[in-house]
C-alpha cells in the first residue's frame, strides 16, 4: 500500500543556499523516524526536502543526462508558453527529449516540480535593499511582484492557497517585511500590511492577465472572442437591470487607459502611510 518503500533516516547535512542540480535517488521518502521519534507525514516533508536541502549528485552510477535545473527550466518554459494546464510530465519530458518517467529521478512528482519552478522564478526578483525609505522600498517590492506575475501568469494559476514555503519565496517576504519593520508599526501590523500588499498585487495581476489573455486561452482568437462578447452586450445585457454599469460605461470608466497597477498602488500606499502616521503618534 504505502507507495514509497525505502528505509533511510533523514540525513543531517548542512543547508546550502544554492539549489542542487543533480539527480539523486531516494526522492520518495516514507515515514522516516527521526531522532525525536515523532513520525512525520511524508507529503509535507518530501515537498520541503528537495527545496531546502538540495541533494548533491553522488558520483556513482550512471551519468545523468540532465540536471535538476534543466528540468525546472523546461517546466517553466512549458508553463510560460501554454499555461499551467499544459504542464504535464509528458510534455516537460518531451521538451528534454526523454521519457516521461525519467523525470521522476529528478523530481518526486508534479507538485514538487511546481514548487521548484516557483522558487526559481522568485529567485529572479530584484528585491528592495535594506535601509531605503519605506515607501520606495514597498513600491519597488510591489512592482517587482507585479511584473513577475505578468511574466509568469501560471504562478497565479497554481490553485494553491498560498505560495509554497521555498527559500526564495521567503527571501521576498523577508525583504518585504524589512521595508516597513522600522516604521513604528507593531509586529502584527507589519505582517498584516504585507499581506495586504500581496493580496492587492495578486488580485490586480489576475485582472490584468485576464484582460490580456481573454479568449486566447480557449482556442478562439482575440477577435472572435470580442465579437462574441459584443454580441452578448446587445443580446443579453439589460441596462435597466444594470444602470450603474451602463452609466460608468458611457462615461468611459471601463476604458482602462493606464495600467491598473500604477493607478492604484499610490492609493494603497496612502493607506499604509495613514497607518504608519497613526502608529507614530
Q: Which does 66 bind (CB under 5 to 8 A by kind): a second copy, DNA, none?
A: DNA
Entry field: residues in the chain: 281
Distance CA 164, CA 182 (A): 27
Q: How many residues lie near DNA (CB under 7 A)?
A: 35
> Whole-number minimum distance, CB 253 to a second copy, in Å?
3
SS3 of residue 271 by DSSP: helix
Distance CA 48, CA 152 (A): 23
Distance CA 128, CA 266 (A): 17
Site for a second copy in 226-265 (CB under 8 A): 227-229, 231-232, 234-236, 238, 240-245, 247-248, 251-255, 257, 260, 263-264
Site for DNA in 92-151 (CB under 7 A): 98-102, 104-106, 109-111
- Taking the least distance from each CB to a second copy, the nearer of 167 and 184 is 167
Angle subtended by helix axes 134-151 and 260-280, to nearest 10? 150
Q: Are 145 and 175 in contact (CB under 8 A)?
A: no
Pick the binder of a second copy from 24, 45, 64, 132 (CB under 8 A): 45
Distance CA 148, CA 143 (A): 9
94 binds a second copy (CB under 8 A): no
Distance CA 180, CA 238 (A): 47
Site for a second copy in 62-81 (CB under 8 A): none
> Whole-number minimum distance, CB 64 to a second copy, in Å?
25
Residues 169-208: x where in contact with a second copy by CB under 8 A, - otherwise, as a string: -xx-xx--xx--x----xxxxxxxx-xx-xxx-xxx-xx-
Residue 209: C-alpha distances to residues 117, 204, 214, 259 (Å): 19, 9, 8, 12
Residues 209-228: x where in contact with a second copy by CB under 8 A, - otherwise, as a string: xx--xxx-xxxx---xx-xx
Pick the binder of DNA from 28, 135, 143, 206 (CB under 7 A): 28
Site for DNA in 84-103 (CB under 7 A): 86-91, 98-102
Pick the binder of DNA from 35, 37, 62, 267 (CB under 7 A): 62
- Taking the least distance from each CB to DNA, the nearer of 111 and 264 is 111
Pick the binder of a second copy from 30, 67, 105, 157 (CB under 8 A): 157
Site for a second copy in 2-21 (CB under 8 A): 6, 9-11, 14-15, 17
63 binds DNA (CB under 7 A): yes
Q: Which own/partner contact pairs does 52-60 have at CB distance under 8 Å and 24+ positions apart?
A: 52/15, 52/167, 53/11, 53/13, 53/15, 53/16, 54/16, 54/18, 54/19, 54/20, 54/21, 55/20, 55/22, 55/24, 56/20, 56/22, 56/24, 57/20, 57/21, 57/22, 57/23, 57/24, 58/24
Binding site for DNA (CB under 7 A): 3-5, 22-25, 28, 57-66, 86-91, 98-102, 104-106, 109-111
Amino acid at each position: 500500500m504505502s507507495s514509497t518503500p525505502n528505509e533511510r533516516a533523514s540525513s543531517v547535512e548542512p543547508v546550502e543556499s544554492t539549489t542542487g542540480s543533480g539527480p539523486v535517488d531516494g526522492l520518495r521518502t516514507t515515514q522516516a523516524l527521526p531522532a525525536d521519534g515523532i513520525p512525520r507525514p511524508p507529503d509535507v516533508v518530501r515537498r520541503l526536502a528537495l527545496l531546502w536541502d538540495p541533494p548533491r549528485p553522488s558520483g556513482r552510477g550512471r551519468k545523468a543526462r540532465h540536471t535538476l535545473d534543466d528540468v525546472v527550466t523546461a517546466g517553466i518554459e512549458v508553463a510560460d508558453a501554454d499555461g499551467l494546464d499544459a504542464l504535464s510530465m509528458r510534455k516537460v519530458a518531451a521538451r528534454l527529449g526523454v521519457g516521461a518517467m525519467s523525470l521522476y529521478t529528478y523530481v518526486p512528482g508534479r507538485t514538487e516540480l511546481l514548487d521548484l519552478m516557483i522558487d526559481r522564478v522568485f529567485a529572479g526578483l530584484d528585491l528592495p535593499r535594506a535601509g531605503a525609505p519605506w515607501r520606495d522600498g514597498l513600491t519597488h517590492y510591489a512592482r517587482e511582484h507585479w511584473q513577475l506575475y505578468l511574466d509568469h501568469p501560471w504562478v497565479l494559476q497554481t490553485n494553491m492557497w498560498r505560495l509554497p514555503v521555498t527559500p526564495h519565496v521567503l527571501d521576498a517576504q523577508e525583504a518585504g517585511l524589512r521595508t516597513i519593520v522600522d516604521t513604528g508599526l507593531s509586529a502584527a501590523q507589519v505582517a498584516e500590511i504585507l499581506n495586504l500588499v500581496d493580496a492587492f498585487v495578486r488580485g490586480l495581476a489576475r485582472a490584468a492577465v485576464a484582460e490580456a489573455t481573454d479568449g486566447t486561452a480557449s482556442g478562439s482568437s482575440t477577435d472572435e472572442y470580442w465579437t462574441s462578447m459584443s454580441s452578448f452586450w446587445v443580446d443579453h445585457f439589460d441596462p435597466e437591470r444594470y444602470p450603474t454599469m451602463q452609466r460608468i460605461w458611457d462615461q468611459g470608466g471601463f476604458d482602462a487607459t493606464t495600467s491598473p497597477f500604477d493607478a492604484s498602488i499610490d492609493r494603497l500606499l496612502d493607506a499604509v502611510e495613514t497607518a504608519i502616521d497613526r502608529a507614530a503618534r
